[in-house]
């Protein structure tokens, strides 16, 4: 029986989830977040490994987060993806069998809406491999009498100077159609009629697809393409990316990593409050 939303949910452990992937899965994900030959051959060709993009962990991580809906009384149709992070404890292999242990990290009452935080730690036979975390904004679910929670205003704000690196990647018309084959089959991102029913003009790209594009930019601009150096990436989804938009990642080097902000060619910020760190 599912539990009602309350601050008492914080710390609730979710049933463990088994997940696995292989070379085809990680190459398909790479294509879904814009990798293409010949410049990205390492990620899309088994003759080069394939090398696994560090943000791939959000795919099994999202699958584990699905266990939340069986434990907590929320309407999935009212959920917006707020924030996302991935932390790599080791370099992700092209094949793996893992168990993901998830828990609710926070539950806040925002008045007309609620915010729920999730964290999932994926482990294989050698120990912890990655941690995926997210916050979900649940429309119409507030007013249950809980605390409002801390403000994230000012978090990971870019410094008042030009970025050290700017990397641009153009998305394709079929980007969401490819990305959804990695597991997120939400019709919002492919079905025009469904998108209109949801209040949008047309299907748009997945937020986690945008996260993967920014992850590729960070891998190149912060870690010089070295997946072994990639420690973490976190950020807040701020706006939609539409098919054929160009994602512009601005990177400011900072301490052990970098502050990141991504916008489209139109100037609208799509991933804010973002930071990458070395492992």
**Residues forming the active site:** 184, 189
| Tally of CA atoms within 13 A in the half-sphere of 120 that contains its CB | 27
The rounded distance, in Å, linking the Cα atoms of 117 and 124 is 24
**Which residue is listed with tokens 């599912």?**
2
Please give the Cα distance from 111 to 244 (Å, whole number).
Answer: 36
Tokens of 33: 């977040």
CA atoms within 13 A on the CB side of 74: 28
Q: Which of 134, 125, 130, 82 lies closest to 231, judged by CA?
A: 130
Concatenated DSSP letters of 161-228: S--SEEEEEEPPTTHHHHHGGGS---GGGT-HHHHHHTT-SS----HHHHHHHHHHHHHHHTTTT-TT
């Amino acid at each position: 029986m599912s539990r009602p939303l309350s601050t008492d949910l914080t710390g609730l452990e979710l049933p463990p989830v088994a997940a696995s992937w292989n070379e085809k899965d990680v190459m398909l994900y790479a294509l879904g977040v814009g990798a293409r030959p010949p410049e990205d051959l390492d990620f899309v060709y088994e003759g080069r490994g394939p090398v696994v993009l560090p943000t791939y962990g959000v795919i099994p991580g999202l699958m584990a987060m699905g266990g939340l809906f069986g434990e907590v009384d929320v309407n999935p149709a009212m959920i917006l993806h707020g924030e996302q992070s991935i932390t790599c404890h080791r370099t992700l292999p092209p094949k793996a069998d893992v168990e993901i242990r998830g828990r609710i990290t926070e539950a806040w009452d925002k008045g007309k809406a609620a915010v729920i935080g999730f964290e999932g730690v994926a482990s294989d036979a050698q120990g912890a491999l990655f941690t995926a975390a997210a916050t979900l904004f649940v429309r119409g679910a507030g007013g249950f009498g809980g605390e409002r929670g801390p403000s994230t205003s000012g978090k990971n704000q870019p410094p008042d100077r030009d970025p050290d690196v700017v990397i641009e990647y153009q998305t394709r018309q079929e980007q969401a159609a490819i990305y959804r084959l990695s597991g997120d089959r939400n019709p919002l991102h492919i079905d025009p009629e469904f998108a209109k029913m949801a209040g949008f003009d047309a299907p748009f790209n997945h937020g986690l697809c945008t996260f993967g594009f920014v992850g590729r930019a960070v891998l190149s601009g912060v870690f010089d393409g070295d997946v072994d150096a990639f420690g973490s990436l976190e950020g807040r989804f701020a706006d939609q990316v539409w098919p054929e938009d160009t994602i512009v990642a601005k990177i400011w080097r900072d301490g052990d990593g970098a502050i990141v902000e991504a916008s489209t060619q139109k100037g609208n910020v799509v991933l804010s409050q973002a930071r990458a760190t070395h492992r």
